[in-house]
Amino acid sequence: MKKLLMVMALFLVALVTVGCSGKGPLTIWVGSESEAFYTQKMEEYKALYLEEKGEEFPHDIRVVGVDTGTAAGTFLDDSDAGADIFTAAHDNLGKLIAGASAVAPVQNQALLAQIQNDNPETFLQVIKGTVGGTEYTFAVPYVAQALVLYYNKQFITETQAQTWEGILEAAVANNKQALSLAGTDGFNNSFILLATEAETGNTSLRLYENGIQENTYGTGDDTIAKLKWGQYFFTHANGARRPSDSGWEVELKNEISIAFIGGAWHFSAAKAALGDDLAITILPTFELIDGYGEVEAGTVFQSGTFADTKAFFMKKNSRYAEYLEDILLFLTSKDVQEESFVAAQNLPAYKNAADEFAAFQENTLEAKLAAAQVRMFEFGIPQPFGFQTRYNTYYYSKGTPDLILEILENNGGNFGTDAQILAQMQIVETIWKTGNRPA
């Protein structure tokens, strides 16, 4: 009898499992900071739908705030249970379209035209991917992001903030730490690694150029020269430091450090830490003290950044597929992007935002943040990892950021010579290309 009961209960479990595949509301994942804004926008969308079609939108819509940094991974863990529309940084494209693609391509001509007309050329390249030999557009950009410099204007003047030398001078004068970083990953070292020669805008650094794994080069003369300067900056008594376990907010607030490199998502915390002393500008330049190879001492470099876009993706085979593109047409329209900037400080992906959006012209910190980001787009590249699922892993997860940090910190004098720096970068380059350390 007990076995009978066991079997009956197991069948019950199986039935419940089958029953779980019920129909839920149309779900949209957005960044937590924008949940309220997009919830309100979807109410407006429903009202517009009623006005245009003469009938109520036929389904419930639920907007959920999520961590956009992990949204793509969460979606892939169980895409059937994932949102119908979700937000992720463009560099997740590779893993989202791997195999037969977990996301649907954009096919609506009006939406494709809006993407084409409203977004900068750099974004158009990184939202496309190839599945089954055909290239499709998979994402709809709506937020842009680049790193900027947050600094304490009590210690650093506007002029000093234009160069790392000026910031270092201010740090020495006040016996402070020049710079705090938010993390040790490949995003945070980009201000050195992606720096370009100020006069020409050139760099020999190549990261998966045109989506090709082999088109990766991190051992050029200028790269080594930049890292040598980085080592000087990180080993200086008042220079930059890896993030402490207290966190960059504490370091800024307690005036341990006087500047911080961060994105728009750090704005609220930076403002809370520095209050009225907070100032924002583009990342500074630096001048090489030592040359390397054909790159001479005195060469000036402009700090670089990854200039990315957050985009909306659509779930493949969503049961609401017929509605999704129309919703995205609305959510990524110029007007909604402008409102999103005002309400949630989301830097629009709209290419002419700096000229056309009234909020950009105001004399507010938010406007300065936006303006600084827009300018940083001139010195940045979108993260080139969306072409293949493995690129992101190779760049961020196989330990190369730590190996670069080892060069910068030069602990134990292990990277005191040019040859040692070059050897370490050869390891880094191999990992970028293959995912493995050289044998």
Minimum CB separation of residue 400 from another protein in Å reads 8
Minimum CB separation of residue 106 from another protein in Å reads 12
The one-letter amino acid code at 9 reads: A
105 counts as binding another protein under rule CB under 8 A: yes
Count Cβ atoms within 10 A of the Cβ of residue 2 and give its class: 0-12 exposed, 13-18 middle, 19 or more buried: exposed
Q: Which residue is associated with the tokens 């059937």?
A: 80
Q: What phi and psi values does residue 277 have, to the nearest 5 degrees?
A: -80, -5
Task: Kindly list the distances between the CA atom of residue 263 and the CA atoms of 14, 188, 228, 402, in Å, as whole numbers in the listed order.
Answer: 47, 10, 25, 21
How many other CB atoms are found less than 10 A from the CB of residue 249? 17
Which pair of structure tokens corresponds to residue 178? 């020049």
Minimum CB separation of residue 81 from another protein in Å reads 8
Interface with another protein (CB under 8 A), residue from 43, 117, 212, 437:
437
237 counts as binding another protein under rule CB under 8 A: no
Minimum CB separation of residue 144 from another protein in Å reads 26
137 counts as binding another protein under rule CB under 8 A: no
Of 66, 140, 143, 128, the residue nearest 97 (C-alpha):
128
Which letter does DSSP use for residue 220 in this model? S
* DSSP per residue, 331-347: HTSHHHHHHHHHHH-PP
Interface with another protein (CB under 8 A), residue from 117, 399, 416, 419:
399
Determine the distance from the C-alpha atom of residue 356 to the mean position of all C-alpha atoms in its chain, rounded to a whole number. Answer: 24
The one-letter amino acid code at 6 reads: M
Of 346, 398, 431, 392, the residue nearest 70 (C-alpha):
392
Interface with another protein (CB under 8 A), residue from 33, 108, 112, 136:
136
112 counts as binding another protein under rule CB under 8 A: no
Are 194 and 304 a contacting pair, CB within 8 Å?
A: yes
251 counts as binding another protein under rule CB under 8 A: yes
Minimum CB separation of residue 99 from another protein in Å reads 4
Minimum CB separation of residue 8 from another protein in Å reads 7
Interface with another protein (CB under 8 A), residue from 154, 157, 163, 184:
184
Query: How far is the C-alpha of 438 from the C-alpha of 168, rounded, in Å?
Result: 37
272 counts as binding another protein under rule CB under 8 A: no
108 counts as binding another protein under rule CB under 8 A: no
Question: Hey, which residues does 286 pair with through a beta bridge?
Answer: 301
Footprint on residues 316-345 left by another protein (CB under 8 A): 316-317
Interface with another protein (CB under 8 A), residue from 36, 76, 112, 359:
76
- Rounded to 5°, angle at Cα 146 from 170 and 218: 85
Q: What phi and psi values does residue 300 have, to the nearest 5 degrees?
A: -100, 135
Interface with another protein (CB under 8 A), residue from 405, 408, 421, 422:
405
Count Cβ atoms within 10 A of the Cβ of residue 108 and give its class: 0-12 exposed, 13-18 middle, 19 or more buried: middle
Stretch that binds another protein, among 201-209, 241-249, 304-312, 355-363 (CB under 8 A): 241-249
What count of residues does the chain have? 439
Minimum CB separation of residue 91 from another protein in Å reads 14
Stretch that binds another protein, among 141-149, 204-212, 325-333, 398-406 (CB under 8 A): 398-406
Interface with another protein (CB under 8 A), residue from 44, 77, 199, 378:
77
Task: Kindly list the distances between the CA atom of residue 377 and the CA atoms of 126, 129, 309, 323, 380, in Å, as whole numbers in the listed order.
Answer: 15, 22, 11, 33, 5
Interface with another protein (CB under 8 A), residue from 96, 115, 227, 261:
96
174 counts as binding another protein under rule CB under 8 A: no
9 counts as binding another protein under rule CB under 8 A: yes
- Give whichever of 381 and 404 is closer to another protein, judged by the CB atom: 404
Q: What phi and psi values does residue 362 have, to the nearest 5 degrees?
A: -75, 160
Interface with another protein (CB under 8 A), residue from 215, 361, 426, 436:
436
Are 127 and 90 a contacting pair, CB within 8 Å?
A: yes
State the SS3 of 378-397. HHEECCCCCCCHHHHHHHHH
Interface with another protein (CB under 8 A), residue from 357, 390, 408, 429:
390
175 counts as binding another protein under rule CB under 8 A: no
- Give whichever of 161 and 269 is closer to another protein, judged by the CB atom: 269
Interface with another protein (CB under 8 A), residue from 256, 343, 344, 359:
256
- Give whichever of 296 and 402 is closer to another protein, judged by the CB atom: 402
Q: How many residues bind another protein (CB under 8 A)?
A: 60
Q: What phi and psi values does residue 104 have, to the nearest 5 degrees?
A: -90, 145
Question: Where on the chain is the footprint of another protein (CB under 8 A)?
Answer: 1-11, 13-14, 17-18, 20-21, 73, 76-77, 79-80, 95-96, 98-102, 105, 131-132, 134, 136, 184, 244-247, 250-251, 254, 256, 316-317, 389-390, 393, 397-400, 402-403, 405-406, 411, 436-437, 439
